Chain A
Amino acid sequence: MSVNLSTDTRGHPTVKAGIRSKFLAKLWGQRYLQVMALLGVAWMILFNYIPMYGILYAFKDYIGIGKMGDAPWAGWTHFQEIFEDDQMIQVIKNTLGISLLKLVIGFPLPIIFALFLNELRSLKFNRIVQTISYLPHFLSWVILGGILTAWLADVGIVNDILMGLHLIKEPISYLAEPKYFWTIVVASDVWKEFGWGAIIYIAAIASISPELYEAATIDGAGRFQKMRYVTLPSIRGTISILFILAVSALLNSNFDQILVLKNQVNESASNVIDTYVFETGISQGRFSYSAAVGLVKAVIALFLLLFANSVTKRMNQSSLF
């Protein structure tokens, strides 16, 4: 500052140049770091941002050949088409139905599992149960699809057992009947992920101060009371953050899983937004239309995220942003 006051206008740029050369010197000093960081940015531009720009396909009439820029503009016609599409209602119903069921059943189960695991007296047994519980997370949906198709076939072991118990008379082809599809999808998802989903809660429970439990014991609290008044309130923050993430992923009804279990016979219950985009876009070549469907889904997902975030924020002051 003193330099600026004592010199004339010719002195001013000298100071600026000094700052600039200092900045450049600092930048040069961290040239390796900058290259390392910019390689990451370059990757993100190439594989994240350019596909985002590709959202424009939804506003074009693109028939699969040539560059996007050459295709004529279509305005909102593809979005109007979505409203006129008979299949869309079914697709949205399936997407929301399967996702909501997964949320209602699949979200609390890891918490309950973690609570009861915490009550095990033997630490060794606790570890063994934990290790077994997250093993299925590491199996692929293709493998699980293989197991499920074998079990649920006419001659599979599910029919075998149910007929042995005289609960049913005729074998049922479960995967060929739409009415069983949601149950199969939700049950197999819960089986695969409950242990994995519990890991974070287990860690949160482990960090609760033992003094709280001791105090509760002195106050005469039983096992269930301790769960309700000590453990659950202590992990509330973790629960709400995971809840926000679960709600924001509500429209992602696990593409991998449904694609494996879906077939032409159960389509009325198994076609979700993601499989619909995949089939209309890639298999039928209606690129612009299915890009529009994908965009509508992304917009709704964004609103769901904001909605869940504000709800949990109001409820207990913890939120993602």
Chain B
Amino acid sequence: MKRDRRTLGDIVFDNINVIGMLLLCFITLYPIWYVLVNSLNDGKDAMTGGNIYWVPRMFSFENYSTVFKNAGIMTAMGITIAKTVVGTVIHVFFTAMVAYAYSRKELIGRNVYMVIGTITMFFGGGLIPTYLWYRDLGLLDHFGVYIYPAMFSFFDLVIFLAFFREIPDGLEEAAKIDGANDFSIFVRVVLPVSLPVVATIALFHGVWQWNDYFTGLLYTNKEVLQPIQTFLYRVIAQSSSNQMAQAVGGSITRRVTGQSLKMATMVITTFPIVLAYPFLQRYFVKGLMIGSLKG
């Protein structure tokens, strides 16, 4: 496709294509922009003065300061941060560790282990048996429900597996001669050279942990264990905006409304993901390839 070969048809095609792509970018970004400008606008004004499309009409940080002053929302945020950090570290370490053992050709029983794992990708108990089993395990209303059931995934193991196979054997052998055991080889040699795949799985799992509202909804009744997404789900799907205002403490005398508080909470909830996204993006495209094309 050299520039000098462009025919009139090509030029028309290219221009339409570019315009189409620009339109697509706009459609993708605008909803996010909408939430941002509405979170920065005075709540009462947004409610009475008509919709805000492009820029805040009455600029205000009050929505944010109200949200940050609210103990309930901040607790929920703390739970979300805790479950994301702890859950991701444990998930990545544990899944990679099992994957490393699975990746070694000399592992006795390797085929049996693979079959045991593959079955879990296609079959499961379903919602009710799982719920009742977690209840029997004492995981209801327990922080562990965010961590233990999510600490391993066979699908992620397959992605790790594809990556570990590419590591040259010499690296491990050298460590073995130095007297290292398999576990310390995994921790000191394999993990450090596997940064791209570790970052990919960490991103996927981290995003899942951050965004998951269902675990909190299903397995916890205690408000202090509720992550921010579950909190938002309850005010968005199950109630009117007034309840958001009440949830925030009933001290709504001034310029904020349930709707404007929702917008601010949504921005705060989404911000970390948008922030981490550019850093991790270069890893996940690569990581996704490894996993999807071979798995």
Contacts and interface: CB of A to CB of B under 8 A. Distances in A.
Interface of A: 23, 26-27, 30, 32-34, 36-37, 39-41, 43-44, 47-55, 57, 62, 67-68, 113, 116-117, 119-121, 125, 128-129, 131-133, 135-136, 138-147, 149-151, 155-157, 160, 191, 195, 199-200, 203, 213, 217, 222-223, 238, 255-256, 259-263, 274, 277-278, 281-282, 287, 290-291, 294-295, 297-298, 302, 305
A295 B130 CA distance: 12
Closest 5 CB pairs of A and B: A54-B129, A51-B125, A40-B98, A140-B211, A294-B126
A157 B51 contact: yes
Nearest to B180: A32
A129 B133 CA distance: 45
Contact of A147 (B27, B35, B53, B218): B35
Contact of A223 (B13, B120, B181, B259): B13
Contact of A277 (B128, B151, B263): B128
A143 B270 contact: yes
Interface string B136-151: 1000000000001101
Contact of A119 (B17, B35, B110): B17
Interface of B: 1, 5, 9-10, 13-14, 17-18, 20-21, 24-25, 27-29, 31-32, 34-35, 38, 50-51, 53, 94, 97-98, 100-102, 104, 106-110, 113, 116-117, 119-120, 122-133, 136, 148-149, 151-152, 154, 157, 181-183, 186, 207, 210-214, 218, 229, 232-233, 236-237, 259, 262-263, 266, 269-270, 273-274, 277-278, 281, 285, 288-289, 292-293
Given A43-B151, A195-B28, A256-B213, A290 B128 contact: yes
A150 B131 CA distance: 33
B239 to A, nearest CB: 10
Contact of A121 (B1, B28, B129): B1
Contacts of A255: 214
Given A145-B233, A222-B9, A263-B237, A160 B51 contact: yes
Nearest to B22: A129
A199 B113 CA distance: 31
Nearest to A289: B128
A47 B100 CA distance: 21
A40 B288 contact: no
B78 to A, nearest CB: 18
Nearest to B7: A222
B237 A145 contact: yes
A121 B18 CA distance: 9
Nearest to B25: A132
A315 to B, nearest CB: 20
B113 A133 contact: no
B124 A37 contact: no
Nearest to A263: B237
Nearest to B149: A47
Given A120-B18, A142-B232, A147-B31, A274 B127 contact: yes
A140 B1 contact: no
Nearest to B288: A199
B126 A295 contact: yes
Nearest to A305: B122
Nearest to A292: B128
Nearest to B95: A40
